[in-house]
Structure 1
Amino acid sequence: MEQEQITKLIPKKTMKLTFRIRYRTVWGENLRIILNEEENNSIPLTTRDGVIWQNSYEYFTTDIEKVITYRYGVFRGETCVRKEFGAIPHSFYLGNAQQTHYILDDCWRELPADFHRYSSAFNLPHPLSRPNKLPDGVGSCVTFRALCPGLSHKKQALAISGSCNALGNWDWFRPIRMQEVAPNVWHLTLDASSLPPSFEYKFVAVNAETGAVEEWEGRPNRTFHIQPLMRGETYLPMETEVFFNLPPRKIAGCAIPLFSIRSEGSCGTGDFGDLKSFIDWAADTGQQAVQLLPINDTSGNGGWMDSYPYSAISIYAFHPMYIDLRQLPEPEDKEEAQLFETERRKLNAQPLLDYEAVNKLKLAYLRTAFRQEGDEVLSSEEFLSFFAHNESWLQPYAAFCYLRDLNHTPDFHQWSKYQTYDAAEIAKLCNPENEVYPKIAFHYYIQYQLHKQLLDAASHARQRGVILKGDIPIGISRCSVEAWTEPYYFNMNGQAGAPPDAFSTNGQNWGFPTYNWEVMEKDNYLWWRKRFAKMAEYFTAYRIDHILGFFRIWEIPTHSVHGLLGHFVPALPMSEEEIRSFGLNFRKDFMTRPFICDYMLNTMFGDRSDEVRQTFVRHLHHDLYAMRPEFDTQRKVEAYFAGKNDEESLKMKEGLYSLISDVLFVSDRDHPELYHPRICVQNDFIFKQLSGKEQEAFNHLYNHYYYQRHNEFWYQEAMKKLPVLTQSTPMLVCGEDLGMVPECVAWVMERLQILSLEIQRMPKAFGQEFGRLCDYPFHSVCSTGTHDMSTLRGWWEEDPAVTERFYRQELGCWGEVPRQASGWICKEIIRRHLNSPSLLCILPWQDWMAIDEKLRNLDAAAERINIPANPHHYWRWRMHLTLEELAEHKDLSSEIRTLIQEAGRE
């Protein structure tokens, strides 16, 4: 029988729903109920005073066991301008046959307090219950609803104890237990006739086995005045959050790139099998979090540049080099197996990652394994289920990899065929009957094995009580699957990057396309929500790389190499009239084109200044010059110097880059007649050409533009995106908010309870040289450094003057400053970080090792992961110890565990 016919035979239950809420609106706004997350099918409420809103609504359903969820939203016309936050909507279940009218009193709910406690990072999967349903014949009911995180789910449950017999008369052993119907959401339905008109009650935590009260709410008794109910009516009072007097749980953890982990059996790089062992080490030392760098596939050209983990060719696929080959069948050819083992040992003995050699060897092994078991694996029920769940991204990814290898480039614009993605054509290409199918299916096989291995490691982390924290890069490669299949989501005529900071005086140019947020908004950021959902399959927490990009991104023209000629997008550019209103006489020819004079050429190029005059610039008049057309962009200069890597050529190239960026204003991308003040121009020659009065006017304009003008604008931009994204999964959300941070970033992160990143040597408070650990917010991650910084020991040796001030002012020490950060210094710095108020204290593995002078790497500089100022840096660092050796050092494990316990991070 057809499903439609079956549905017609199931009787529909008709109910009346009455919603009531107090919420103050302004003229032009109206309140609606968004039922079951269907924003396009909302229920309007009515009001007489703009404060008390209510309405009754007929609801029909054939599924009487279905949970009904809803949110309140504020609408202007048909547009929802704001709605209740949180991954947890209001909810209720249908009662017995007599219950036909549900009266719901509510209050507007923002994020629950301590929202992190509702995340999967703090909640292991556990059995849930159906709500209790009273027997038929009960005429009217009262349903209590509560949110309560923090209970020990294996040992405790939530209950109600009160001043009436139905609630146990305050007896320790007679509270009425509630049912956990969703994670941390508790319901209880009582017969209204068993309750007196007025009574007092409290929520209590009870022993799951005995039912005895173990914790009482630390607040005055709650009072309840029941309203007269007609037969068939169920009254649901306001939901409430329940807290007990429990100390805040704080956690310590470790950050390490997966490729850096080393074990006796790994193949020159860390893998998902090694991750399980690393999780064990972390748990054995009292750490409850392991943070990784991105693990997505970055295999573009197959060379060293692919080692950069933030330039993914797929936002879903994992890098094949993270496969644990030990979990695959050995080569049946014994000679081949022996050759592999010899090469594996050779690669694994190397101090640094040999990216090209490791990937070559692993792919060869994978091809052998695929030949041996590929048909069997790809016909298994487990794989078919995986494929059905992931086909939307897996098929285009596999086709992309095949076409990349066929055409010897990931740049799909250069492919002989399939330059423009066509889903129907790609489906034909991936048809099992196609002769190239085995080459495409090879990538299915790899991703399936990676999925199984990471899922296993993630499950192991949950069993050991360890938060597995991933990393979501802000950008994607412009030669990626998503750029090929969904180009409408991106602006390909720009490059994402970052403005200048302490790590890069010329800014950073990541080369990624920027996002077309206007298009993404139309489908409620589906691209991002799918990306986050995939990550939630494995991780319980994640770091949003460069969260500032959700407020605004630093966009650099494609003709630029450095980041100085970029501007924020979106932003509010200035007209000529507005610039003049600051007291600065705007002169387009002078202020928007490179200023070049003899003094500059002589100062910057010295003996080679005449060469620059003859080759790269042309004379205008007096002592002024302009770049020749064939060298008027940094990309043209870059092309001229391609392959010239001697010191003189590199110096000349950088000098020419500086000439080109010597402008006071840059034109807006979409409106060339509007302008942005060039970032950090105060140090350049063109700024020095201004009079003192003009410099003062420009600085006033500059400070207004960069620190005041956009706060509310960028706040609204972020609030369009981040609530939708951060609440689309139960993962704990952390944001990397370092750099040039506008004031509005803190507003948004605090409102959405996104954990900030706090680094003592990168303080956020104006005028501070070092951050004050005691002032860190609770909703934060504190650390001694990131992968973009030197290690704690490396930083200590960088600038003796800074080190001395830190030694005396922060550590309070006297006498001669040690040239190297000794074990006791590193231990003291770590101890202070562990004792900070931050919810998470996640330290680089190298800094944990620094407390043991016998065990740590002798060469502090060798432990650096990345140098942001070097766009050609290779990501190669590996642990100098194996996990097996690390596990043997019980003294270090005990020392770390003691530090964590003394700080109360257990």
Structure 2
Amino acid sequence: MHLHFSIHYASRWGQQLFIETNHEKFAQIPLHYQADGWWQADLVVAHLPAGLQYNYVLREADGHERREAGKARALSGLKGRVVYLADSWRELHHPDSALLNTAFTEVIFRPGQVRKAKAVRSQKGLAKVRFDFLQVRVPAGLELVVLGDVPELGNWQPAEAQVLAAEHFPLWQTQILLAPGTQFSYKYALRDPETKEIVIWEQGDNRTYTVPAAADMVVKSDAYFRFAAGGWKGMGVAVPVFSLRSAQSCGIGEFMDLIPFVDWAADQGMQLVQILPINDTSSSFTWVDSYPYSAISVFALHPIYLRVDQLEVAPPKAAHQRTRTQLNALAEVDYEAVLQYKLKLARRAYDRQRSKLAKNKAFQSFVADNAHWLPAYAAFCYLRDQHATADWLRWPAADQNYDQERIDALTAPTSAAYTEIAFHYYLQYHLDKQLYAAASYARQRGIILKGDIPIGIDRESADAW
């Protein structure tokens, strides 16, 4: 198979374009400048390697490299001896490139019903032309189409346009057959699927292409719909979790209180909910720790946001309801009382479940997946409690300097301290579980849950230690 790559890039003197692949045999392929901003490269393979992917890299004269936006392009579904890959550069600083993260591709602009891309059967004397259009922002209720000045693209008639499928969203695809040498103009548009009328035409000049004479297949890649109104704008609200206190929470807003709040935000037509930092700030266990920007870990979540009712061992019902009612009735959050009460109930549940944790696959998986920070954080919390201060410079000399071997020994299941160490694992496991449940629900409602983090770390923290 002969692969012919071409891309337009208005380069400066000293710049060089490369194709970067995931195959060691041809990891980097230099492109050659032709004229008028066009770059080309050729790759001949006996058999196309399975899973082959590529993207474009711009190398400056000083060796600095800049990659295009988006995931690597997949060389899949290619048929024929000679395949032309007519690509377009995906500019990293284009406003729509910001939409290529999962918050937009999997939540806000996630397609509803996804149809498979239309397949066309090869015909002698005709080249298969596949349109690959990278586009995240497609308004709900509209379909993405391509139409142009040839019959295969509807001769500019909206009702005859080719509908693109989002089987590989955010890549939209469709295929047609054209005779080699065919010159055509085309545009992408957004169409009402019921009336077949164009609702939004993309702006600017028509896109153009000429099917190469030697092509058996062409993949014509484009990126970003040219909207007249410019970039996307969304609506959201910023809220501290602690302010979401409800009848179901205990003295303070909790992660699970995000669920009804998300319902409210979705009903208002919002797309984002931003929350203040929710990291653990437990340093002195006094009200001073309530400042959310003074975390003792950039990873650990604050135990005060735990819904203790959802632990494996529920708190005594009547007594818990009395305490909850008292704490919720306060005009302000009693930070110290709430945290102490929740830690007491969490400890009670942990003590009754401790012997089962070794066989709890979900718990063990959580600990393993977070091994890059969790043991060190738990060791810090253990030593903080042992020495009655989070100021590690006031700890005994043996504990002041972070030593990985000592941490490994302290956090080993055979360690005398492991019961205390694992309590912090247990807290973080349930906090993560509850926050994940709230975040997953938000995604189902089309809401991004956006976090906030402090600019720096606290001096008396596991990270500084």
TM range (shorter): 0.7 to 0.9
Query: In the superposition, relative to structure 1, how do residues 196 and 33 fare at CA in structure 2: closer, same or farther (>3 Å)?
Result: closer
> 1:408 aligned to 2:388?
yes
Once the two structures are TM-superposed, the CA of residue 134 in structure 1 deviates from its matched residue by 5.8
SS of the residue corresponding to residue 313 of structure 1 reads: coil
| 1:523-565 deviation line (CA, Å, top 9, x unaligned) | xxxxxxxxxxxxxxxxxxxxxxxxxxxxxxxxxxxxxxxxxxx
* 2:349 alignment counterpart: 369
TM-score by length of structure 1 reads 0.45
Out of 307, 327, 336, the position equivalent to 2:310 is 327
Query: Matched residues in 2 for 1:305 and 1:37: separation?
Result: 55
* 1:349 alignment counterpart: 329
Query: Matched residues in 2 for 1:443 and 1:58: separation?
Result: 57
Query: Matched residues in 1 for 2:37 and 2:229: separation?
Result: 36
> 1:312 aligned to 2:295?
yes
**Superposed, which structure 2 residues align to 1:285-300 within 5 Å?**
285-300=268-283
* 2:366 alignment counterpart: 386
Query: In the superposition, relative to structure 1, how do residues 176 and 48 fare at CA in structure 2: closer, same or farther (>3 Å)?
Result: closer
Amino acid at match of 2:188: F
Once the two structures are TM-superposed, the CA of residue 110 in structure 1 deviates from its matched residue by 3.9
* 2:91 alignment counterpart: 109
> 1:68 aligned to 2:50?
no
> 1:46 aligned to 2:32?
yes
Query: In the superposition, relative to structure 1, how do residues 63 and 53 fare at CA in structure 2: closer, same or farther (>3 Å)?
Result: closer
| 8 Å contact kept, 1:36–1:70 | no
* 1:93 alignment counterpart: 75
Query: Matched residues in 2 for 1:278 and 1:470: separation?
Result: 15
Out of 175, 193, 213, the position equivalent to 1:228 is 213
* 2:199 alignment counterpart: 215
Query: Matched residues in 1 for 2:363 and 2:46: separation?
Result: 39
Query: Matched residues in 2 for 1:211 and 1:430: separation?
Result: 65
Amino acid at match of 1:307: S
Query: In the superposition, relative to structure 1, how do residues 63 and 213 fare at CA in structure 2: closer, same or farther (>3 Å)?
Result: farther
* 1:146 alignment counterpart: 133
> 1:303 aligned to 2:286?
yes
* 1:175 alignment counterpart: 161
Larger Rg: 1
**Superposed, which structure 2 residues align to 1:573-722 within 5 Å?**
none
SS of the residue corresponding to residue 86 of structure 2 reads: strand
Out of 422, 430, 441, the position equivalent to 1:460 is 441
Query: Matched residues in 1 for 2:131 and 2:184: separation?
Result: 14
| 1:245-282 deviation line (CA, Å, top 9, x unaligned) | 67976544433221122212322211112222222333
**Superposed, which structure 2 residues align to 1:753-768 within 5 Å?**
none
SS of the residue corresponding to residue 416 of structure 2 reads: coil
| 1:708-735 deviation line (CA, Å, top 9, x unaligned) | xxxxxxxxxxxxxxxxxxxxxxxxxxxx
Query: In the superposition, relative to structure 1, how do residues 472 and 453 fare at CA in structure 2: closer, same or farther (>3 Å)?
Result: same
| 8 Å contact kept, 2:313–2:352 | no
Query: Matched residues in 2 for 1:483 and 1:405: separation?
Result: 17
Query: In the superposition, relative to structure 1, how do residues 214 and 118 fare at CA in structure 2: closer, same or farther (>3 Å)?
Result: farther
Amino acid at match of 2:324: R
SS of the residue corresponding to residue 224 of structure 1 reads: strand
| 8 Å contact kept, 2:149–2:155 | yes
Query: Matched residues in 2 for 1:23 and 1:247: separation?
Result: 23
| 8 Å contact kept, 2:68–2:90 | no
Amino acid at match of 1:271: E
Once the two structures are TM-superposed, the CA of residue 360 in structure 1 deviates from its matched residue by 0.9
> 1:187 aligned to 2:187?
no
Out of 254, 264, 267, the position equivalent to 1:281 is 264
| 8 Å contact kept, 2:164–2:173 | yes
| 1:569-619 deviation line (CA, Å, top 9, x unaligned) | xxxxxxxxxxxxxxxxxxxxxxxxxxxxxxxxxxxxxxxxxxxxxxxxxxx
Query: Matched residues in 2 for 1:115 and 1:151: separation?
Result: 14
Unmatched tracts of structure 1, length 5 or more: 1-13, 485-906
Aligned residue pairs total 457
| 8 Å contact kept, 2:96–2:231 | no
- Percent of aligned pairs sharing the same letter: 33
Query: Matched residues in 2 for 1:48 and 1:247: separation?
Result: 32
Once the two structures are TM-superposed, the CA of residue 136 in structure 1 deviates from its matched residue by 7.5
Query: Matched residues in 2 for 1:134 and 1:218: separation?
Result: 26
TM-score by length of structure 2 reads 0.83
Query: Matched residues in 2 for 1:26 and 1:250: separation?
Result: 37
Query: Matched residues in 2 for 1:129 and 1:443: separation?
Result: 46
Query: In the superposition, relative to structure 1, how do residues 76 and 34 fare at CA in structure 2: closer, same or farther (>3 Å)?
Result: farther
SS of the residue corresponding to residue 252 of structure 2 reads: coil
SS of the residue corresponding to residue 452 of structure 1 reads: helix
| 8 Å contact kept, 1:46–1:54 | yes
Query: Matched residues in 2 for 1:160 and 1:314: separation?
Result: 50
Once the two structures are TM-superposed, the CA of residue 475 in structure 1 deviates from its matched residue by 0.6
SS of the residue corresponding to residue 371 of structure 2 reads: helix
**Superposed, which structure 2 residues align to 1:725-744 within 5 Å?**
none
> 1:24 aligned to 2:16?
no
Once the two structures are TM-superposed, the CA of residue 418 in structure 1 deviates from its matched residue by 4.5
Query: Matched residues in 2 for 1:366 and 1:60: separation?
Result: 62
* 2:432 alignment counterpart: 451
SS of the residue corresponding to residue 389 of structure 2 reads: coil
| 1:635-692 deviation line (CA, Å, top 9, x unaligned) | xxxxxxxxxxxxxxxxxxxxxxxxxxxxxxxxxxxxxxxxxxxxxxxxxxxxxxxxxx
Query: Matched residues in 1 for 2:283 and 2:23: separation?
Result: 40
Q: Greater relative contact order (Cα 8 A, min sep 6): structure 1 or 2?
A: 2
SS of the residue corresponding to residue 382 of structure 1 reads: helix
**Superposed, which structure 2 residues align to 1:149-160 within 5 Å?**
149-152=136-139, 155-160=141-146
Once the two structures are TM-superposed, the CA of residue 59 in structure 1 deviates from its matched residue by 6.6
* 1:733 alignment counterpart: none
Query: Matched residues in 2 for 1:284 and 1:103: separation?
Result: 44
Amino acid at match of 1:203: Y
Unmatched tracts of structure 2, length 5 or more: none
| 8 Å contact kept, 2:122–2:128 | no
Amino acid at match of 2:94: P
> 1:161 aligned to 2:140?
no
* 1:543 alignment counterpart: none
* 1:700 alignment counterpart: none
| 8 Å contact kept, 2:57–2:68 | no
* 1:493 alignment counterpart: none
Once the two structures are TM-superposed, the CA of residue 58 in structure 1 deviates from its matched residue by 5.3
Once the two structures are TM-superposed, the CA of residue 198 in structure 1 deviates from its matched residue by 2.0
SS of the residue corresponding to residue 159 of structure 1 reads: strand
Once the two structures are TM-superposed, the CA of residue 69 in structure 1 deviates from its matched residue by 3.6
| 1:460-514 deviation line (CA, Å, top 9, x unaligned) | 2233333323212111112322223xxxxxxxxxxxxxxxxxxxxxxxxxxxxxx
| 8 Å contact kept, 1:23–1:107 | no
Query: Matched residues in 2 for 1:328 and 1:415: separation?
Result: 33
Amino acid at match of 1:46: H
SS of the residue corresponding to residue 186 of structure 2 reads: strand
| 8 Å contact kept, 1:410–1:479 | yes
More moved, 129-138 vs 264-273: 129-138
Query: In the superposition, relative to structure 1, how do residues 295 and 184 fare at CA in structure 2: closer, same or farther (>3 Å)?
Result: same
Query: Matched residues in 2 for 1:254 and 1:20: separation?
Result: 41
Query: Matched residues in 1 for 2:312 and 2:389: separation?
Result: 31
Once the two structures are TM-superposed, the CA of residue 51 in structure 1 deviates from its matched residue by 5.1
SS of the residue corresponding to residue 391 of structure 1 reads: coil
